[in-house]
A and B are shown apart, each in its own frame.
Chain A
């Protein structure tokens, strides 16, 4: 009898013990999920929703979706489904998508060895409620980009969060028709970067505590050259004074900490109704690609920033005793030629053509003590000037970004392909 009771109790104990162990595994780390999810991604049919349950899952290899249109990858929520790549053995990113009309929704990707999520050659991208981060904080060995659509068309990023990327948290490159909405980028080198894109808008976003808040760049020697037309509006661009931890060589390694907005070789950009506050170096910097002193061999490339309309923003410098950045060349340049004073707007003054304002730079800001400096980099800083009068003008507002079919571009691509 006693024996029976003991056996019974033992059995119960075993069950309880097993159950507890099983639960711990389910909630913390599962390593078997790679094959299960990757197989679903390979076997997906158009229209499928691939669900990733709540929990934290560990991956040793990257996930990828290729060539299957209209697939949704859905987690249980940004804070509920965590895909961790901290033990990644292979692959340059965590999740790679090369498929049209893809939707990513409700999960976090963290600690990838390279970029967190890369999407390439996609027609139609929706990324919603997705977070990318590196959990050990700012480190040059973190991956470059958090959310990284490149060579895509019709890209919507909304309600996302990106942090601790060693390049840009949200980076959209060489894409056409881009909307970045209501997203939060913090503690990256660049918060949000729009590079070589055509028709983009960044709105209702918060870029905070990065080295540079929002960047609009156009770089040479790339297949999608001369990006243009970008609206930056209704954003909170705040306190982007974080150290620049990007490895040298990368474009963003030049960004001086304490920078709100940079327009580099940008064309047709309207910046309005933003709150650009608390930067120790400069609120908005406007520069030609020449300022980087990099070489290029691209006959079609236009290195100048032109047709820029900056108006009706709330500009507040960091104030207090903070001096502009001295860790980067451009920080030093601003410190040196602006009497070590924080600036609202700095222009490199590198221009092409005749007249007082050949690049069509228009600034309409009502701030009384606006600090504007043209550092005259074109003439070795000979005539540094605070006179903004040549640039007080207005341009037509830019039209809204509309997602459209790619008839013309497809034809171009096909011709190239032959």
Chain B
């Protein structure tokens, strides 16, 4: 008799579990109660949270050239409530409706060559638009990786992984605090998303159902984006695409990694150094441009970019440094991005040499 009861219980439990997995409660946010304490409360992902299986209407996206964050892998999603759509403005920036949420997960596969071997979750960042303004919320994953908890002041987490070449890597990954989010995510001192510019997401993506489609077309198909002439905005190069022109790859890399601050509306505008793909003034691009407030960040070099001479270029020196008082970007990395540095170095070396002194 006891045996039968146990068996029944087990059968019940299995059924319940299966039901749980099958019924996806759609995402429904109470914006007055945000931010929630735990990532799971948003219901963006179904089943085991760590699997990051997107709920209905939670749509994967990917930039062409991403920001480097200590080699962390990222998965990004966008969600919007029913009945609202985003629009593309004249500058190719996506203007989101209230209710839009951008979700970015940061994690380290144990083995970068074998992603299926499992991963360590670090943090998940949300950008939420409500009452016409964006808010940034950071969730730090617990040690058991069952959920992530809201963090205001950030955190430091030791992570390690094996890179593509099999080399053991480790860093003290720094989760930014709320204010630090904004120091990058700002245009004219207002918090804004960075990555979802038309020029940086205008590419084909393979979706979970196996279909391949241009991301902007997909957004229009699911009703996240008004029908728009996005083609008029030239897509940025993929920094790793060896078939693309070197200049385009380097500038795409610089825009994705520096342009959020080093642009006319960014926090580093006071330097007059604008590292964006649409900048045409050579001084603003750093060519033969002296630093303004670099301090020891100059490394004894005299100009940001010395055409043809990477070893005389401050920009490269700061990309190579891990000293918090020297390194660029100021936030978001504690290790050198060797591959990014190599690209920018190759590009500067390829430029025609110029005498940076006034004649």
Contact = CB atoms under 8 A, between A and B. Distances in A.
Same complex for A and B? Answer yes
Contacts of A221: 272, 283-284, 289
A327 interface: no
B337 interface: no
B24 interface: no
Interface stretch (A236-244, A291-299, A375-383, A397-405): A291-299
A90 B299 contact: no
Given A42-B153, A88-B324, A297-B283, A250 B356 contact: no
Contacts of B290: 249, 251, 292, 294
Most chain B CB atoms below 10 A, which of A114, A148, A296:
A114
B270 A222 contact: yes
Contact of A150 (B156, B182, B293, B302): B293
Contact of B270 (A61, A120, A166): A120
Interface in B19-36: none
Contacts of B214: none
Contacts of A290: 358
Contacts of A60: 156
Contacts of A246: 295
Nearest 5 pairs of A and B residues by beta carbon: A144-B295, A249-B298, A113-B325, A114-B325, A297-B283
Nearest to B191: A67
Interface in B273-297: 281-284, 288-297
B270 A247 contact: no
B188 A417 contact: yes
Which of A38, A150, A224, A298 has the most C-beta atoms of chain B within 10 angstroms of its own C-beta?
A38
Nearest to A99: B179
A295 B326 CA distance: 24
A143 B334 CA distance: 18
Contacts of B265: 417
Contacts of B357: 293-295
B226 interface: no
B267 A120 contact: yes
Contacts of A110: none
A98 B156 CA distance: 24
A413 B180 CA distance: 24
A173 B314 CA distance: 21
B338 to A, nearest CB: 20
Contacts of A98: 179, 182-183, 189, 267
Contact of A144 (B271, B284, B297, B330): B297
A356 to B, nearest CB: 26
Interface of A: 34-35, 38-39, 41-43, 60-61, 64-67, 88-92, 96, 98, 112-115, 120-121, 140-145, 148, 150-151, 166-167, 171, 173-174, 219-224, 246-251, 253, 290, 292-298, 413, 416-417
A166 B179 contact: no
B323 interface: yes
B182 A248 contact: no
13 contacts: A64-B177, A89-B156, A90-B174, A91-B180, A91-B330, A113-B325, A115-B293, A247-B296, A249-B301, A250-B298, A295-B288, A297-B281, A297-B283
Contacts, number: 169
B152 A143 contact: no
A166 B282 CA distance: 28
Given A38-B152, A98-B182, A143-B295, 12 more contacts: A38-B153, A39-B153, A43-B152, A91-B180, A91-B330, A92-B324, A145-B295, A150-B293, A166-B295, A290-B358, A293-B357, A294-B357
A92 B283 CA distance: 24
A148 B294 CA distance: 12
B302 A249 contact: yes
A298 B289 CA distance: 11
Contacts of B182: 66-67, 98
B188 A89 contact: no
B227 interface: no
A315 B313 CA distance: 41
A302 B292 CA distance: 17
A144 B282 contact: no
Interface string B162-184: 00000000001010011110110
A124 to B, nearest CB: 14
B188 A413 contact: yes
B334 A248 contact: no
A96 B183 CA distance: 10
A350 B346 CA distance: 40
Interface in B56-102: none
Contact of A223 (B174, B272, B296, B323): B272
Contact of A34 (B153, B180, B187): B153
Contacts of B125: none
Contacts of A64: 177, 179-180, 183
A154 to B, nearest CB: 16
Contact of A248 (B283, B293, B298): B298
A293 B358 contact: yes
A250 B291 contact: yes
Contacts of A120: 267, 270
Contacts of B271: 222
Nearest to B90: A418
A223 B270 contact: yes
Given A249-B291, A250-B291, A114 B284 contact: no
Contacts of B156: 60-61, 89
B183 A39 contact: no
B313 to A, nearest CB: 10
Nearest to A36: B153
